Amino acid sequence: MAWVITRLCRDCVDQSCVDVCPVDCIYEHTGEDDAFPNQLYIDPEECINCGVCEPECPWEAIFEDEQVPEVFAEDTPLNARIVDAADDRAVPEHLEKPTPTPEQISENKEKWGYTG
């Protein structure tokens, strides 16, 4: 079992989760492959299922793989593909970003069709 970063992270890319990950299994894709949108990814083979990343995400984008909402079903295999992109990924340096407002979080969820 591992954790999954869903498209709620897409183009938001807050890196608070990276700072708390004890095994550095959260990556950004650094290659040219357009199949990897601008978001963070958890390598399921490296994830130790500690769950410390989930409460750190201000965008509420991280779910346990078995709990990923149906609207984000495609995000689980997308996260898993980061395993095969070992040459085109890196643990990002944490850049301070403003915390999103509750309204921004709500708008982002609506944008992706998530009402949970």
pLDDT digits (tens, 9 = 90+) for 33-87: 888 999 999 999 999 999 999 999 999 999 999 999 999 999 999 999 999 999 9
Measured in whole angstroms, the distance separating CA 11 from the mean position of its chain's CA atoms is: 11
Considering the entire predicted model, what is its pTM? 0.94
Domains of the chain, first to last = 3-109 (3.30.70.20)
CB 50 within 8 A of CB 22: yes
**Strand, coil or helix: what is 85?**
helix
pLDDT of residue 14: 92
Please give the sequence-ordered ranges of beta strands (E in DSSP) within the chain, or none if there are none.
Answer: 3-5, 26-29, 40-42, 62-64, 89-90
Q: Residue 65 and residue 81: Cα distance in Å, rounded?
A: 14
